[in-house]
């Protein structure tokens, strides 16, 4: 385990943002390559890395996934393993998730499953919602095309090592809408000569914030619309504004409701802009699809947790946050599994968050127990 903790610290010291995970991918490709896999893919959907470990007999293929990217947030604290990059840090625990995968790889190096095939995937750009989609769209993903797929996400606020499962929606889908309004400026002394978006923005903000109430009248399905940014003109006191930007994040545990929210948001922007004679355009940012767990994959996760004697919690509601693993498990037997990171642990993305090393062995054991459950556990010892 010392080597595994050292790897987690090494990854934590050198975090990289979505889309620029070259060094992290290099570290992980080198680690996986040293475990003598039967195949190794690099540059998958960008910076993705995937290692293949074959059992001697035919059988199903199982993909286990972790994420390569860190966050654009300054970490608090200056321990020996803390981030050495100003303004960038592993505050979602992806360093820990990568280390789970490394631990599984080192076990597979010694002990292949008796049948089937294991793919260990390090996926880029999770935080921006782009990575999983790109990995699946990479033509080489056809070679992987797993029968089963699992990812574990650590969850602060839950007891350390508790396994959290849910059939159906595990995490909401979400998408950002960026709306631009185009009018014309005039002197502040002559607002009647301008086409100002000021009143449009003032009407749009409450209308957009209220969209979810129309889309979902109860909590089932869940829907939420949050205006997260608005800007009007410039701080030029002699000028009536001519331009504005409004940004909103939409989320739901239902793809249908999310689709309706998207349509309603664009309709609100176009109607309010046209009412004031403004030009308008919209674009979508960071789309995450709903993460929907397959019942059979959740059953496998329960069985794996039970093998290890871990506490299991069935979640009553889906998480409001989004994860892009839904792209990988869409149409296959897959599940995103929660793993408690400690009740005292600061929340994900908080500047004081740090992945608990005490959870590393549990995550590795849980992934290995899933492989044992699905591929058999007698194992083939390698020389």
- Nearest residue (CB) to Zn ion, 104 versus 171: 171
Shortest-Cβ-distance residue relative to Zn ion: 92
The CB-side HSE value for 64 (13 A sphere, CA atoms) comes to 29
CA angle at residue 285 from 91 to 45, to 5 degrees?
Answer: 70
Within the chain, strands assigned E span 39-44, 48-54, 57-67, 111-112, 115-123, 148-155, 163-165, 168-171, 173-182, 186-187, 223-232, 239-240, 243-252, 279-288, 291-293, 312-314, 333-340, 380-381
Tell whether residue 66 is a contact of Zn ion (CB under 5 A).
no
Tell whether residue 18 is a contact of Zn ion (CB under 5 A).
no
Tell whether residue 44 is a contact of Zn ion (CB under 5 A).
no
Torsion of CA 357, 359, 361, 367, to 10 degrees: -130
Neighbours of 300 (CB within 10 A): 22
- Nearest residue (CB) to Zn ion, 36 versus 349: 349
C-beta of 254: minimal distance to Zn ion in Å?
A: 22
Kindly state the number of chain residues that form the binding site for Zn ion, as judged by CB under 5 A: 1
DSSP character at residue 192: G
C-beta of 322: minimal distance to Zn ion in Å?
A: 9
Tell whether residue 62 is a contact of Zn ion (CB under 5 A).
no
- Nearest residue (CB) to Zn ion, 92 versus 172: 92
Tell whether residue 92 is a contact of Zn ion (CB under 5 A).
yes
Query: Which span sits near Zn ion by CB under 5 A: 84-92, 114-122, 215-223, 256-264?
Result: 84-92
Please list every residue from 323 through 382 that binds Zn ion, using CB under 5 A: none
Please name the residue that has the structure tokens 């946050």: 321
The two structure tokens encoding residue 51:
């290692």
Query: Which span sits near Zn ion by CB under 5 A: 42-50, 86-94, 115-123, 154-162?
Result: 86-94
Query: Which span sits near Zn ion by CB under 5 A: 26-34, 89-97, 268-276, 375-383?
Result: 89-97
- Provide the binding-site residues for Zn ion, judged by CB under 5 A: 92
């Amino acid at each position: 385990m010392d080597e595994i903790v050292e790897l987690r610290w090494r990854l934590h010291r050198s975090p990289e943002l979505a889309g620029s995970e070259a060094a992290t991918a290099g570290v992980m490709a080198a680690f996986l390559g040293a475990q003598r896999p039967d195949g190794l893919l690099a540059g998958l959907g960008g910076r993705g890395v995937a290692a293949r470990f074959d059992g001697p007999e035919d059988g199903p293929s199982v993909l286990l996934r972790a994420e390569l990217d860190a966050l654009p947030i300054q970490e608090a604290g200056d321990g020996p393993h803390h981030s050495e990059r100003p303004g960038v840090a592993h505050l979602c625990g992806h360093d820990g998730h990568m280390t789970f995968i490394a631990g599984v790889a080192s076990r597979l190096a010694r002990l292949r499953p008796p049948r089937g095939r294991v793919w260990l995937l390090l996926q880029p750009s999770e935080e921006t919602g782009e990575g999983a989609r790109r990995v699946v769209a990479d033509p080489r993903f056809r070679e992987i095309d797993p029968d089963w797929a699992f990812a574990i996400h650590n969850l602060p606020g839950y007891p350390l090592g508790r396994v959290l499962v849910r059939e159906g929606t595990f995490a909401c889908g979400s998408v950002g809408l960026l709306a631009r309004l185009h009018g014309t400026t005039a002197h502040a002394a002559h607002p009647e000569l301008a086409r100002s978006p000021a009143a449009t923005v003032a009407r749009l903000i409450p209308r957009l914030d209220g969209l979810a109430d129309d889309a979902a009248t109860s909590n089932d399905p869940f829907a939420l619309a949050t205006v997260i940014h608005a800007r009007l003109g410039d701080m030029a006191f002699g000028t009536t504004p001519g331009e504005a930007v409004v940004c909103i994040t939409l989320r739901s545990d239902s793809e249908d409701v999310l689709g309706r929210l998207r349509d309603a948001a664009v309709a609100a922007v176009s109607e309010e802009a046209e009412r004031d004679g403004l030009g308008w355009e919209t674009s979508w940012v960071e789309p995450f699809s709903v993460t929907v767990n397959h019942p059979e994959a959740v059953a496998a996760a329960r069985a794996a947790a039970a093998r290890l004697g871990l506490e299991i919690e069935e979640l009553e509601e889906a998480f409001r946050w989004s994860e892009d693993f839904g792209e990988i498990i869409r149409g296959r037997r897959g599940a995103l599994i929660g793993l408690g990171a400690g009740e005292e642990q600061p929340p994900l993305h908080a500047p004081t968050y740090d992945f608990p090393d005490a959870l590393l062995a549990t995550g590795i054991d849980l992934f290995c127990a899933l492989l044992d459950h699905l591929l058999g556990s007698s194992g083939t010892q390698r020389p």
